[in-house]
Every structure is written in C-alpha cells, then in structure tokens.
C-alpha cells in the first residue's frame, strides 16, 4: 500500500466495495445491467431477458433490495400475451413488495363482448386482467394499450351504426381503467394516419394520452399473441435461503424468482 509524504496511507490504495460507492453510481450500474428499452415479456421473450444481468439479484440482500426496486419500478412489463391466471402467477412469484414497485404495464385494449344498445359488455378475461393488476400492483402509474389491439377496437367502434354506443363503450372502459386508483396516465397507441378521429376525440375526452405510430406495411401479425405461462420456462420456485454461493447463472432456470421476496 502506498504512503504519502506526510506518513498517511494513500487513499487510492484503499479497497473499495460495491456498496461503498455513492448510491447514484450504484443506480447507474443497476440501470445498465437491468433496464431494457423495450417492454419486458415475463412469459415469452427468453432472448430479451438474456440481455439483462439478473445475477445481481444474488449478490447479497442489500444489492437484491436496491436492484429489485429499480428493476420493477423502471422497466415496463408486457401483459399482452397472458391470461388472468398468468398475471396472478407472475405477481405471486415476484412477491408483494416487488409487485408494488411496478409502475408501467403494457396491455391489450379490453375486448368488447357485446356492443348492442343497452347491453355493452367486456370480455371476462379483459375484466379479470385489469382486476388482477388493480389488486396486485398498488403503485401502478402508467397503463399503455397495445397498437394492434387498440386499432382493432377503433375499427370496430367506427363501424357501428349508432355513435352513442361507441361513446358508452369507451366510458365503460374508462371506468375499468380508473378503478386502478394509483393510475396517473392512460396511453393508447394508434396509427398516425388512422381515420377514426371521432373515436380518438372521445378517448381524449377521458384524459387518455394518444400515442401515434407511423404505419409501415409488414407481414400480418396476431395481436393476441401466444398464451404462454410463467411455469413453462421457470418451474423451480423453491426457497433458496440466504446462501448465494451455489448460484450458477449459466444453468439458471428461475429468472423471476431471483427478484422475488
């Protein structure tokens, strides 16, 4: 170890641990390792999760707590390919504390089961997913509806003979959205050159934010996606205790549990 002229030890040679770094610097490291620009799909996109560094969750309890809070609060989670049961499973797997960190969720626009005068109803799965989000994510601030599902809704409402039905239908959806009391912003993705201006004016009247995307012709997509389950890929939800020495990231089979309670 080096010695200064005055006899003191050189500070440059003093070992520095990760937790001795300023919190701002630790957060920058967490962000580089754990944040993804695109929405995270907890069920289907294995390659997407490979781009992150979940081994941080296994370092120690302090890093686990700090990393988890940033991971769940700042990433956006894609619930467009899921069932109500999958939502419950995912939120249960990560634990209540981590579920309460979640701020941003991406969902399909609720599906209308019936659009008859005096009988406007929503699909049961759409209702259940929103209800599970409401009960499981106490601090959710942003809910975004996917581009293709919102486009399908716009076209269906625009084709109605009675414009009052569209007004009532959007009011019903807004009631379901607003039942999530923590929600601060509702964002609906639409194509920039869409022809449903009167539908969009009604959406804006509810305080929803319209996010436009330029239409680029490509191969047909199925906006409903595939119905995968969390357990298909991550089946080991056992208690690992506090011993992190045996962790092998190359053979990990339980991505989400590592950030759980």
What pLDDT is attached to residue 1?
Answer: 47
What pLDDT is attached to residue 201?
Answer: 94
The full 3-state SS of 76-115, as one line of letters, equals: EEECCCCCHHHHHHHHHHHCHHHHHHCCEEEECCCCEEEE
pTM equals 0.76
CA 128, CA 143: separation in Å to the nearest integer? 15
The model's pLDDT over 19-78, given as tens digits with 9 standing for 90+, comes to 888 888 888 888 888 888 889 998 876 666 677 877 777 788 888 888 899 999 999 999
- The share of the chain scoring above pLDDT 90, in percent, equals 52
Q: Does the pLDDT of residue 144 top 50, yes or no?
A: yes
What pLDDT is attached to residue 182?
Answer: 97
Give Cα 210 distance to the centre of its chain: 19
Give the pLDDT band (50/70/90) at residue 256: low
């Amino acid at each position: 170890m080096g010695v200064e002229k005055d006899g003191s030890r050189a500070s440059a040679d003093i070992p520095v641990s990760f937790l001795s770094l300023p919190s701002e610097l630790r957060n920058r490291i967490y962000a580089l390792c754990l944040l993804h620009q695109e929405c995270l799909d907890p069920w289907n996109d294995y390659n997407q999760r490979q781009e992150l560094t979940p081994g941080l969750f296994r370092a120690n309890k302090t890093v686990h707590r700090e990393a988890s809070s940033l991971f769940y609060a700042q990433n956006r989670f894609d619930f467009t390919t899921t069932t109500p049961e999958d939502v419950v499973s995912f939120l249960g797997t990560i634990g209540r504390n981590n579920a309460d960190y979640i701020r941003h969720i991406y969902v399909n626009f609720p599906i209308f089961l019936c659009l008859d005068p005096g009988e406007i109803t929503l699909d049961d799965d759409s209702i259940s997913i929103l209800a599970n989000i409401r009960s499981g994510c106490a601090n959710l601030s942003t809910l975004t509806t996917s581009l293709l599902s919102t486009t399908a809704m716009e076209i269906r409402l625009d084709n109605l003979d009675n414009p009052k039905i569209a007004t009532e239908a959007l009011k019903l959806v807004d009631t379901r959205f607003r039942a999530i009391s923590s929600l601060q912003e509702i964002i609906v993705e639409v194509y920039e050159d869409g022809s449903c201006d009167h539908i969009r004016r009604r959406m804006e009247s509810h305080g929803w934010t319209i996010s436009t995307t330029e239409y680029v012709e490509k191969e047909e997509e199925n906006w409903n996606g595939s119905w995968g389950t969390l357990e298909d890929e991550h089946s080991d939800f056992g208690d690992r205790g506090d011993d992190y020495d045996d962790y092998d990231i190359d053979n990990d089979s339980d991505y989400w549990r590592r950030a759980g309670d």
